[in-house]
């Protein structure tokens, strides 16, 4: 039986198949940690790619990427350095969604150096432009993105322009990821009903 936060459980794979994940053929399986195992899938697989923040993206459409960190907006105290270490590949994606949902509310990806480029802990930092988004990262302020060309105001995190869906912000304090704060147009998220994810690919 599928529980919240699981991609699969034993033979329960939801609606996922090798074909739906972009492979030509094969048999999809489930790992002991309840994530989809595509090792027996075969055929061409086109890696998911998009320019700029994307909204309402089906999880199964994000092929070629693996989750390297996942928690909820209610989690606090996780080392940012630990997350960076767990996600060493060349391209990183930040995403969020209601817990267990099969659609990402908003996501964006860029080369690792852009996603992790240090920005100043100030109200209007000089964000890093990459792949249609502006990125900010500081382990004692906040971490996130917005659509390239939009104004950015961080009162630690991004609580402005609350009608804009193409923004994501996670609060950081003294080297740790704290609870909160934004997934798309939803702000002030501080409980376990919403998830934060970092995905990676070569």
What pTM was computed for the model? 0.80
Computed over its alpha carbons, how large is the radius of gyration of the chain? 17
- The 10s digit of each residue's pLDDT in 47-72 is 899 999 999 999 999 999 999 999 99
| DSSP at 155 | B
Average pLDDT over residues 186-194: 96
CA distances from residue 142 to 51, 56, 154, 171 in whole angstroms, order as listed: 22, 23, 8, 4
Name the nearest CA neighbour of 181 among 159, 152, 160, 153. Answer: 159
CA distances from 83 to 3, 9, 27 (A): 24, 25, 31
Q: C-alpha distances in angstroms, 180 versus 54, 92, 107? A: 20, 20, 16
Tell me the C-alpha to C-alpha distance, in Å, between residue 130 and each of 33, 51, 86, 91, 189. Answer: 33, 9, 22, 11, 26
Question: For a pLDDT cut of 70, what percent of the chain falls above it?
Answer: 98
Q: What is the pLDDT of residues 87-104, one digit of tens each?
A: 999 999 999 999 999 999
Is the per-residue pLDDT at 4 higher than 80? no
- Quick one: pLDDT at residue 74? 97
At 59, is the secondary structure helix, strand, or coil? helix
Q: What pLDDT band is residue 127 in, cutting at 50, 70 and 90?
A: very high
């Amino acid at each position: 039986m599928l529980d919240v936060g699981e991609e699969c459980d034993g033979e329960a794979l939801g609606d996922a198949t090798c074909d739906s994940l972009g492979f030509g053929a094969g048999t999809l399986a489930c790992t002991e940690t309840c994530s989809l195992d595509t090792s027996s899938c075969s055929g061409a697989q086109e890696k998911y790619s998009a320019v700029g923040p994307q909204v309402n993206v089906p999880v199964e459409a994000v092929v070629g990427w693996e989750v390297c960190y996942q928690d909820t907006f209610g989690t606090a105290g996780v080392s940012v350095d630990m997350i960076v270490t767990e996600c060493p590949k060349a391209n990183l994606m930040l995403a969020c969604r209601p817990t267990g949902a099969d659609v990402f509310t908003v996501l964006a990806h860029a080369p690792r150096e852009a996603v992790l480029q240090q920005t100043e802990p100030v109200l209007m930092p000089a964000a890093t432009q990459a792949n249609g988004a502006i990125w900010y990262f500081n382990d004692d302020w906040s971490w996130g993105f917005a659509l390239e060309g939009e104004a950015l105001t961080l009162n630690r995190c991004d609580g402005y322009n609350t009608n804009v869906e193409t923004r994501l912000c996670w609060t950081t304090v003294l080297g740790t990821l704290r609870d909160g704060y934004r997934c798309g147009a939803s702000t002030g998220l501080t409980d376990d009903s919403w998830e934060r994810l970092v995905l990676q690919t070569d």
